[in-house]
């Protein structure tokens, strides 16, 4: 089953510095039919104006993955962590027993990002934060950037305290990627740019596709596309 939530149907919030779209219920946007997807609870599509950002605020018991699409974000937290994550890379924050953090766009251009919240499998974990640059070698296909899946242990992906994984990459126009989907799991897929078909179903830029019950995925780029997807227990 593939269900597509079109970009113009997403929840929306805008103020003087933040332009946000919500794939699932968040803040003032509430849709009882869109409370999450398996362990995936939040997928926010944010644009943060230069010189602004999210002031210090707390989180608990959540794995928070931020994928940067344009610009960069600078993280600070009460554990003493500080770092900058730029386009094409991810940062992972383990909220665990509690953390207070801030995120700022210190760049001269708007920062565009996906912020993704995943419910942890391990509660009471030590809070923490990490980021890592990934090679931009132009290789086509999807790479695992963050994961708590057993099969990804020991790899380059940033760790998650959840049986979930975030994959991202670019597919050139006309190219196809095959992706297996294990029984009992689901994939939530968003093209950050471009347009693809997934098993023949069209998914446009910044749409969200919920995928379950498919033994495998055939993803074909109708135009060059930057894809971000999360694999979770459905």
pLDDT in tens, 56-68: 999 999 999 999 9
Where would I find the beta strands (DSSP E) of 60-207? 63-70, 72-77, 82-86, 90-94, 99-105, 111-118, 128-132, 143-147, 158-159, 164-171, 176-180, 185-198, 201-203
Joined tokens for residue 136: 């931009």
Angle at 8 between CA 65 and CA 49, to 5 degrees: 55
Q: Does position 132 have pLDDT exceeding 90, yes or no?
A: no
For residue 79 the two structure tokens come to: 């554990």
Average pLDDT over residues 73-79: 97
Q: Tell how strand 143-147 and strand 158-159 pair up.
A: parallel
Phi, psi for 150 (deg, rounded to 5):
-55, -40
CA 157 vs CA 131, 187, 197, 204: distances in Å: 10, 18, 26, 27
In this structure, what is the dihedral angle of CA atoms 48, 35, 132, 218, given to the nearest 10 degrees? -110
Digit-coded pLDDT (tens) for 91-124: 999 999 999 999 999 999 999 999 999 999 989 9
Q: What is the mean pLDDT of residues 126-147?
A: 84
Reference 114, options 38, 234, 7, 198; nearest CA is: 7
Q: pTM of the prediction?
A: 0.95
Write down all domains in the chain, each with its CATH number in brackets.
2-233 (2.60.120.10)
Closest C-alpha to 171, from 106, 217, 109, 104: 217
What pLDDT shows up at residue 185? Answer: 96
pLDDT level of residue 141 (50, 70, 90 thresholds): confident
Return the HEC string of 150-166.
HHHCCCCCEECCCCEEE
Q: What is the pLDDT of residue 128?
A: 97
SS (H, E, C) 36-51: CECCEEEEEEEEECCC
Q: What are phi and psi of 28, to 5 degrees?
A: -80, -5
State the average pLDDT for the chain: 95
């Amino acid at each position: 089953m593939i269900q597509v939530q079109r970009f113009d149907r997403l929840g929306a919030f805008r103020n003087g510095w933040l332009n946000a779209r919500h794939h699932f219920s968040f803040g003032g946007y509430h849709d009882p039919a869109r409370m999450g997807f398996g362990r995936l609870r939040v997928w926010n599509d944010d644009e943060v104006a230069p010189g602004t950002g999210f002031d210090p605020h707390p989180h608990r018991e959540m794995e928070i993955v931020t994928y940067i699409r344009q610009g960069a974000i600078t993280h600070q937290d009460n554990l003493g962590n500080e770092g900058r994550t730029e386009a094409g890379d991810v940062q992972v924050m383990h909220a665990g027993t509690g953390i207070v953090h801030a995120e700022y766009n210190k760049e001269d251009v708007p920062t565009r990002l996906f912020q993704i919240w995943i419910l942890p499998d391990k509660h009471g974990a030590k809070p923490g934060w990490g980021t890592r640059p990934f090679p931009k070698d132009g290789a086509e296909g999807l790479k695992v950037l963050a994961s708590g899946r057993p099969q990804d242990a020991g790899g380059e992906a940033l760790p998650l305290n959840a049986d979930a994984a975030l994959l991202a990459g670019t597919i050139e126009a006309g190219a196809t990627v095959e992706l297996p989907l294990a029984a009992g799991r689901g994939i939530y897929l968003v093209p950050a740019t471009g347009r693809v078909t997934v098993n023949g179903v069209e998914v446009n830029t910044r749409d969200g596709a919920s995928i379950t019950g498919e033994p495998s995925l055939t993803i074909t780029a109708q135009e060059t596309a930057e894809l971000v997807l999360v694999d979770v227990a459905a």
